[in-house]
Amino acid sequence: MQVRQILAIKGKALYTITPDKTVTEAIAIMVENDVGSLVCFDNKRMVGMLTFRELLKAVYQFGAKAGDAAIASIMVRNPQSVPPDAEINELRLIMLRSRARYLPVMDGEIFLGVVSFHDVARAVLDEQGFEIRQLKDYILGHPSVELAT
């Protein structure tokens, strides 16, 4: 399975913010849309990534004034991204090594979406479930499975 297939399954909703917005504005977007990350765009170009991890760091760093902090001061600049043709095992390895729960998907300079660790886990379970059903059908001799000769 490729990253592009994961994006197709999860849908086309993209959640973004500009670096000049505040932490309070970012939290509002994330809560209202039940998402754990926002991609930061400036002049139609991805410049960073904001996740709940950066928000927690802002609260620790700025205390009660964290809500007024600019996204530019806490976002991850130039985050690692993956191409849409990356295989799911490659994606899992990148996520594990970098400890990233969210990765932007880029086709060159074009932003296609974000894959989360949750998206990857769901895709793996779906793929395994399909394979298990196919094997059961084969073992039980159901005619829905045709063998290549």
Domain covering 3-140: architecture = Roll (3.10)
Residue 42: which of 77, 10, 5, 11 has the closest Cα? 77
> Would you state the structure tokens that stand for residue 87, as one six-digit string?
């295989």
Cβ atoms within 10 Å of 81's Cβ, excluding its own? 20
- Helix (H) / strand (E) containing 123: helix 117-140
> For the ranges 20-29, 66-75, 108-117, 121-130, which has the lowest average pLDDT?
121-130
Instruction: Summarize pLDDT for 75-120 with one digit per residue, the tens.
Output: 999 899 999 999 988 998 999 998 999 999 999 989 999 999 888 8
Cα dihedral: 90, 94, 97, 99 (round 10): -140
As a whole number of angstroms, the distance between CA 1 and CA 24 comes to 37
Q: How far is CA 61 from CA 35, 58, 83, in A?
A: 23, 5, 33
More confident residue, 123 or 26: 26
Q: Find the mean pLDDT for residues 25-41.
A: 96
